[in-house]
Structure 1
Amino acid sequence: MEITRIFGDGRLREVRAWQEWLQKIQILRKRYEYWGNGYDLFANNETANVASLGNAATLAGHMALTEYAAVKHRHTRGRAHHNGRYDLWMSNADDSYCWGLEAKSLWDEQTLNQSDFDKRMQAANKDTKAHMKGEADCRVGLFILTIQYRDDTDFRKESIRAHDALVMNSSAQVDLAYRLEGPLADLWLYFALNP
């Protein structure tokens, strides 16, 4: 099951630090594909997908906490801050660098258009920027996209081309993107990094 970096500078800290994490994601997907005909671990809702990402991060040696309590900016009158949560907070055991991730997720059987992609990516990035600096070394907006296939090789080829291209044509901030191929579905992880 192939992992392809489709966008992002190879010198980014995350490219090195997340390499094993991405491999563990693929191992978990392979382990649980037997559950049923057409099942993919990431053909779930956002909460389940984030939990699976957290499980893979732990297997890769990171500390991973879902629904991690963190302070957010309040954009209304009254207190300037309020309690919030990162969908996933994880720390690299090697150097204690940590990421706070806010995720949006979509599972579908068709091609996502550019406008919908941009809206989802912008929403994830807006959510992560609402967190106070200092709660994580890097605040990360994440869009998780899973496209499931029905034995249509031509559709799969077109889907890969179209979903890889979303990041190139996006008006939203995207700093790093991966495609993780699977036997039943392909998974895209699009990241906006905000140190």
Structure 2
Amino acid sequence: MNETASCGVLSSAASTAGLLSMTEYLCIKKHHTDYRRKGNGRADLWVADPARQISWAFEAKQVRCAPGTRPSTLEDAMADACHDASRLTDLEADRFYGLLVATLPEEDLEDLDDLVERLDAFADEVDIACKFGGGARPAYAFLRLAQRIKSR
């Protein structure tokens, strides 16, 4: 599974729930070093609830975890996602989130308990966490509200 596919699944779920959604859409972003400058960019996922007149924009990263995956690896990927979300302009949505999708190895490894414990612990470090089961291995979605960058 990859980042684009993960956003597609979340977009489909939003549509099934009666929300509007788009993936990989063109947008205006703040420059990565000079936030006064803006340019064309791409965002990973946009979801809106027309009844409540609210929308959310998400920038996603994906980590394919291994038994030795450290919490800092997860935190670094989440920080990257939040930074990307913070570069979206206020015209894009009402709320901006970094989204981290974490998957477990497909190989049949004997001891994934430590890795699952680290992922479960990381859930306490974010605003929203979901653990999806039902398959051979669980997958995780972690969301953190991105800090907004003010243009000068």
> Which residue of structure 1 lines up, in the alignment, with residue 111 of structure 2?
155
Distance in 1, matches of 2:45 and 2:10, equals 8
Q: Report % sequence identity.
A: 30
TM-score normalised over the length of structure 1:
0.66
1:70, 1:85 within 8 Å by CA — same for their partners in 2?
yes
Alpha-carbon shift at residue 165 of structure 1 (Å): 0.9
Between 1 and 2, higher relative CO (CA 8 Å, sep ≥ 6) is seen in 1
Structure 2 partner of 1:50 = 7
Gaps of 5+ in 2: none
Q: Which amino acid aligns with 2:142?
A: Y
Retained in 1: the 8 A contact 2:63–2:74?
Answer: no
Separation in structure 2 between the aligned mates of residue 57 and residue 113 of structure 1, nearest angstrom? 31
Q: What residue number does 2:128 align with?
A: 176
Q: Is the partner of 1:159 in helix, strand or coil?
A: helix
- Cα shift readout 1:14-34 (whole Å, capped 9, x = no counterpart): xxxxxxxxxxxxxxxxxxxxx
**2:89 corresponds to 1:137:** no
Please tell me the root mean square deviation across aligned C-alpha atoms, in Å.
2.4
Q: Give SS of 2:57's match.
A: strand
Q: Runs ≥4 in structure 1, deviation > 6 angstroms?
A: none
Structure 1 pair 76–107 and aligned structure 2 pair: CA distance change class (3 A): closer
Count of matched residue positions in the alignment of Structure 1 and Structure 2 = 147
Write 1 or 2 for the structure with the bigger share of helix.
1
1:4-83 mapped onto 2 (5 Å cutoff):
44-75=1-32, 80-83=37-40
